[in-house]
Amino acid sequence: MKPFYISLKPFLNHGQLRRPTDWHAVFANSHPLEVEIGFGNGEYLERLSQENPRVNYLGFEQYCERIHRTLRKLSRGGLDNVRVLRLDARAGFERYISPLTIERVHCLYPPPWAKKSDAKHRLFTGNFLKLVNSRLVAGGVLKIVTDHYPYIAWTQDNVGDTGFKAEFKKIPASYSTKFEKKWVEGGRSEFYELVLTKIEHRDVPLKEDTLLQTYIIDHFDPDHFSFKDYSADGVAVAFKDILYDAKRKIAHIHVIACDGPLTQNVRIGIFYTPKGWRVNLAEGGMLMPTQAVARALQCVHQAAIDG
């Protein structure tokens, strides 16, 4: 049988990485670092890392399937200067990348969220541009390419005081990524490129981890577990499901925890121990200890007490 992956080395479990990460230590060299946001099936990431062996590349992508395809490509080429994370780029920049450490950021065809009601999901807000600026070295560059002109116009409007100089141009298809090929097959020949060069530094501190508590309660009745969803100050927690194993006296609660745009699936366990029922994170998740995760634990604890 053919192996699915030749090597999983390029894939990093963000739950086990230090925050912020010492990327020189990860790559075991002092080469410059570049980032690709939303690398999709990895065509561009593969090409960049092949063409520039003395540059380290870090990719952020959210879709598992696309990460799988990328890993297959990367391992075929035996590339050692590239690492990928299954992570929202916003959390990646906030927590895993120290200020003034990246040379270039690439983003090809970010989702344009073309409907007016969806515009709130767009990535390159003024705040995100400031965050990227803070992580770039002096003179560092962020390049965004899209097929959707309104998205570029919206991004240009957000540049304002983010510390970047913007240069816009129309370009032909130049990258042969999955999405670009799709637009070309659909008849498009004109694309839009925005290059933002860092001219002033913006200070955005690293986001710190939140301490996660373990709770002990005397009594727990899974039949009367009633969870109240929570939402305040950009933190939200919503209940999804509870599973209870009566024989082993273990409940698993699944909630969604959101810190602004960062959404995490959180599994919390309620386990019987001779000292009482212990409420803490279930093992095996790839979680970042954020305020919303701490709040999720608090909400589950409260629901278990109220039940």
Ligand X SMILES: C[S@@+](CC[C@H](N)C(=O)[O-])C[C@H]1O[C@@H](n2cnc3c(N)ncnc32)[C@H](O)[C@@H]1O
Q: For binding to ligand X (CB under 6 A), which residues are involved?
A: 37-40, 60-63, 66, 88-90, 108-111, 123, 177-180
Residue showing tokens 């699944």: 254
Minimum CB separation from ligand X for residue 112, in Å?
8
**If you write DSSP's letter for every residue of 119-185 in order, what string do you get?**
GGG-S--HHHHHHHHHHEEEEEEEEEEES-HHHHHHHHHHHTTSSEEEEEEEE---S--HHHHHHHH
Rounded distance between C-alpha atoms, residue 80 and residue 55, angstroms: 10
Minimum CB separation from ligand X for residue 259, in Å?
13
Contact assessment for residue 239 and residue 227, using Cβ atoms and an 8 Å cutoff: yes
Cβ neighbours for 207, distance < 8 A, ≥ 6 positions apart: 91, 94, 95, 290
Nearer to ligand X, 57 or 60 (CB): 60
Minimum CB separation from ligand X for residue 173, in Å?
11
Nearer to ligand X, 229 or 234 (CB): 234
Nearer to ligand X, 10 or 38 (CB): 38
Nearer to ligand X, 97 or 108 (CB): 108
Nearer to ligand X, 113 or 271 (CB): 113
Nearer to ligand X, 110 or 140 (CB): 110
Minimum CB separation from ligand X for residue 264, in Å?
13
Minimum CB separation from ligand X for residue 10, in Å?
16
Minimum CB separation from ligand X for residue 13, in Å?
16
Going from the C-alpha of 189 to that of each of 145, 184, 192, the distances in angstroms are 13, 6, 10
Contact assessment for residue 43 and residue 73, using Cβ atoms and an 8 Å cutoff: yes
Contact assessment for residue 281 and residue 297, using Cβ atoms and an 8 Å cutoff: yes
Rounded distance between C-alpha atoms, residue 44 and residue 179, angstroms: 11
Q: Using CB positions, name the residue nearest to ligand X.
A: 38
